């Protein structure tokens, strides 16, 4: 057997579901051919007579699947540093909103930005994620809130995959907030969003439809209308659910067989069972929890009890989670939400891929998957999570290169 590349003498965290825990293989090897994994096995089990164009000895380093950041708002213009500063000087959220701050600031800046501007503003954030071994990233629209700007954001998202060696998955999130020109009429704006969905589906610019179900955003009924339009257009859905209150968003997402329900701080037992039944992934976002200094933690025990797959993500956005480090978020998920080491590593690999419907392509080290790897200058998975602000990436491999 002739491989393109083989990485030898590594500790593999395969995440293969038929192995226990992280599916660790001590003294293992991974081999790639035509961009895909063709072997992930102990050195002792290498086939006789193997050969490779490139052979790389890793001296016991840890190899995980390339990391997956499955919930980001990475594409936007401007920033909200000034509001951060005002809040530190005692201004309330209401005062900032009255002064035209909050998400409106980002919507204005994003509407004024060209596609090139958006790509240029996003690349430095993207590069920080790539430097930590991330190989697949989800990006959402949702700061345009009109068809033209939403399309521009999604185009900018797709462009990122041409500017850098990364897999980009896009979600259409026009149901993120009410635009200022809607004058408080949420029903009419949702009519418009539902009319945008077939256009977006036709353009192939979005891989999924997302919404924000919350008192400050859209009601469960309005969210269901968006989901029905997505279903009619053949697009899967995901949801910002139960972040600030329990509107039974997790249950609603599950009723529409959502890929994921995200945030979930206020999700109850019924929500956990619904997610389990639907096979939807619970995406936990400790960055926003930290920035907003929330007290209510997501129901991790309930999610475990019902075997709901858990993912974590940066939720990188200018307002509530200006974070471009998935490694830091991994520490937060352990420290703030009590996830175990195995749960955290699975949450940024296998389960994050599942939250994007990409579990057949990436997220584990198994033959047939894309050869997306993160090679670390550490030997144990806990070393990725325990330290804060320490990037131990040795090499990032995408599609075998
Ligand atoms: Zn979000």
Confidence (pLDDT) at 110: 98
The CA 240 to ligand 1 mean position distance, Å, reads 6
Output the pLDDT for position 95: 82
Between the CA of 72 and the centroid of ligand 1 the distance, in Å, is 6
pLDDT at 99: 77
Give the number of C-alpha atoms closer than 13 A to the C-alpha of residue 190, restricted to the C-beta side.
22
Half-sphere exposure of 101 (CA within 13 A, CB side): 20
Task: Tell me, yes or no, if the pTM score tops 0.85.
Answer: yes
Residue 43's pLDDT is what? 97
What is the pLDDT at residue 20? 87
What are 134-144's pLDDT values in tens digits? 999 999 999 99
The pLDDT value given to residue 94: 76
Q: Among the residues of 233-324, which ranges form H helices?
A: 249-255, 269-278, 286-291, 300-305
Extract the residue ranges of the chain whose pLDDT is less than 50: none
- Dihedral sign of CA atoms 285, 290, 293, 294 in order: positive
Contact predicate 375/65, CB 8 Å: no
Residue 26 CA, ligand 1 centroid: distance in Å: 37
CB within 5 A of ion ligand 1: which residues?
A: 315
Q: Which of helix, strand or coil describes residue 365?
A: coil
CA–CA dist 108, 183 (Å, integer): 16
- List the one residue out of 133, 208, 187 whose CA is nearest residue 358: 208
Report in angstroms the alpha-carbon separations of 304 from 221, 298, 343: 29, 11, 10
How remote is the CA of residue 360 from the centroid of ligand 1, in Å? 24
What b/e readout covers 141-174, taking b as 16+ CB neighbours within 10 angstroms?
Answer: bbbbbbeebbbbbbbbbbbbbeeeebbbbbbbbb
Extract long-range pairs of 117-122: CB within 8 Å, 24+ residues apart: 117/77, 118/75, 118/76, 118/77, 118/152, 118/153, 118/156, 119/156, 119/159, 119/160, 119/163, 121/75, 121/76, 121/77, 122/74, 122/75, 122/76, 122/156, 122/160
Helices (H), 115-185: 115-130, 147-163
140 CA distance to ligand 1 centroid (A)?
Answer: 8
Instruction: Please tell me the distance from the alpha carbon of residue 140 to that of residue 173, in angstroms, as a whole number.
Output: 6
What pLDDT is recorded for position 92? 82
φ/ψ of residue 34, rounded to 5: 50, 40
């Amino acid at each position: 057997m002739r491989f393109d590349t083989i990485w030898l003498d590594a500790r593999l965290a395969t995440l293969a579901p038929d192995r226990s825990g992280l599916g660790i293989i001590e003294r293992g090897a991974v081999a790639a051919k035509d961009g895909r994994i063709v072997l992930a096995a102990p050195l002792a089990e290498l086939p006789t007579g193997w050969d490779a164009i490139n052979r790389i000895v890793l001296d016991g380093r840890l190899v995980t699947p390339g990391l997956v950041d499955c919930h980001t708002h990475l594409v936007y213009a401007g920033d909200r540093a000034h509001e951060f500063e005002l809040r530190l000087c005692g201004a309330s959220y209401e005062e900032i909103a009255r002064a035209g701050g909050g998400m409106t600031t980002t919507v204005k800046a994003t509407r004024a930005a060209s596609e090139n501007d958006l790509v240029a503003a996003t690349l430095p954030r993207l590069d920080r994620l790539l430097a930590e071994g991330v190989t697949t990233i989800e990006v959402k629209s949702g700061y345009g809130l009109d068809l033209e700007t939403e399309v521009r954001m999604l185009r900018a998202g797709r462009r990122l995959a041409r500017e850098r060696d990364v897999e980009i998955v896009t979600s259409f999130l026009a149901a993120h907030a009410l635009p200022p020109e809607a004058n408080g009429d949420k029903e009419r704006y949702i009519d418009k969003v539902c009319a945008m969905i077939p256009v977006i589906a036709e353009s192939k610019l979005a891989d999924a439809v997302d919404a924000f179900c919350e008192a400050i955003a859209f009601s469960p009924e309005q969210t269901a209308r968006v989901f029905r339009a997505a279903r009619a257009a053949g697009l899967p859905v995901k949801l910002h659910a139960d972040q600030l209150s329990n509107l039974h968003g997790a249950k609603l997402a599950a009723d529409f067989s959502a890929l994921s329900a995200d945030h979930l701080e206020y999700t109850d037992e019924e929500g956990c069972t619904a997610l389990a039944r639907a096979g939807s992934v619970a995406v936990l976002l400790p960055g926003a929890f930290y920035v907003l200094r929330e007290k209510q933690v997501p129901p991790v025990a309930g999610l475990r009890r019902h075997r709901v797959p858990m993912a974590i993500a940066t939720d990188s956005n200018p307002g509530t989670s200006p974070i471009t480090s998935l490694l830091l978020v991994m520490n937060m998920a352990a420290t703030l939400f009590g996830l175990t080491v195995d749960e955290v590593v699975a949450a940024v690999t296998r389960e994050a891929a599942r939250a994007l419907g990409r579990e057949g392509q990436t997220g584990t080290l198994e033959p047939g998957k894309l050869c997306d790897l993160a090679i670390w200058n550490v030997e144990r998975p806990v070393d990725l999570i325990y330290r804060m602000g320490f990037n131990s990436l040795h090499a990032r491999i995408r599609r075998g290169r």
